[in-house]
Amino acid sequence: MPLLTAAVRGASSVGGAVLCGATRALAAVRPAAKPLHPQGRVLEACLYRHGVEPPLGVEFLDTVSTDEVVVRESRAIGLPRQLPDIHGLAIKMTNADGTTGDLLFATTGSGRLSRFVLTFSKSTYGRPLTTLLPYSTSAGPIVLGARAVGFSTVELRCSVGDGEWRHFADLRLSETVGADQDISFDPVRNQLPGLEQYGWVTRLRAPAYEEARESRSE
């Protein structure tokens, strides 16, 4: 299986650094509970996981399960709606042990390198979305992706490094619920089984989430 190359790691590092820098800059000029993704839409959804064949040895990706989840769709910079923005898709679910697991996706490309590059879009699903930075797993570095395949269905995919995408779940969106500002997401703190953060990814991401938590006075 293809592994994460030095070029891909470099591209993803740049993407993470841009994310952290943007969070700090926006927090300085626009104090808000959420410096990035200030406004969004919160929905109920159901995540249908059917696993991958052959299995990857990663619990979250291999497990067949149906999970009730909460989803937030948002615009990263908060530009006027008539302008393109970097869009985000966040998923919050409950792990089998009762802990919380978060997934965060942003609009990118889907190619071997472009999956690690943030891109602007006019809508949440106008471009492919990925987790931007890879997870550390027993199968190697894994990137997750998302793309709309219907009016209310989002296909979740995974790839080992810069390899081929493999479909492992479908996200079915439902009704808008709750107050937008009452929910936050942190994939560094809230991890899913088998999907761990690389040390270098944590070092890239942690400052952005610390900045966001300080803005929310958590």
Per-residue model confidence as pLDDT tens digits over 124-159: 999 999 999 899 999 999 999 999 998 899 999 999
103 is a domain residue:
yes
- What would the pLDDT profile of 65-122 be if each residue is shown by its tens digit? 999 999 999 988 888 888 999 999 999 999 999 999 999 999 999 999 999 999 999 9
* Helical (H) or strand (E) element with 213: helix 199-215
* pTM for this model (two decimals): 0.81
| Residue 84 dihedral angles phi and psi, to the nearest 5° | -65, 155
> Residue 1 domain-assigned?
no
Cα dist. 147→9, 208, 217 in Å? 23, 25, 34
CB 194 within 8 A of CB 103: no
Question: Residue 90: CA atoms inside 13 Å, Cβ hemisphere, count?
Answer: 22
Question: For the segment 174-204, what is each residue's pLDDT rounded down to a tens digit?
Answer: 877 766 767 888 888 899 999 999 888 877 7
How many folded domains does the chain comprise?
1
Tell me whether residue 27 is in a domain. Answer: yes
Residue position matching structure tokens 């409950």: 94
Whether 10 has a pLDDT exceeding 80, the answer reads: no
Residue 194 · residue 55 · CB < 8 Å: no
Look at residue 6 and tell me whether its pLDDT is greater than 50: yes
Owning domain of residue 56: 6-215
Q: Which CATH number is 171's domain given?
A: 2.40.180.10
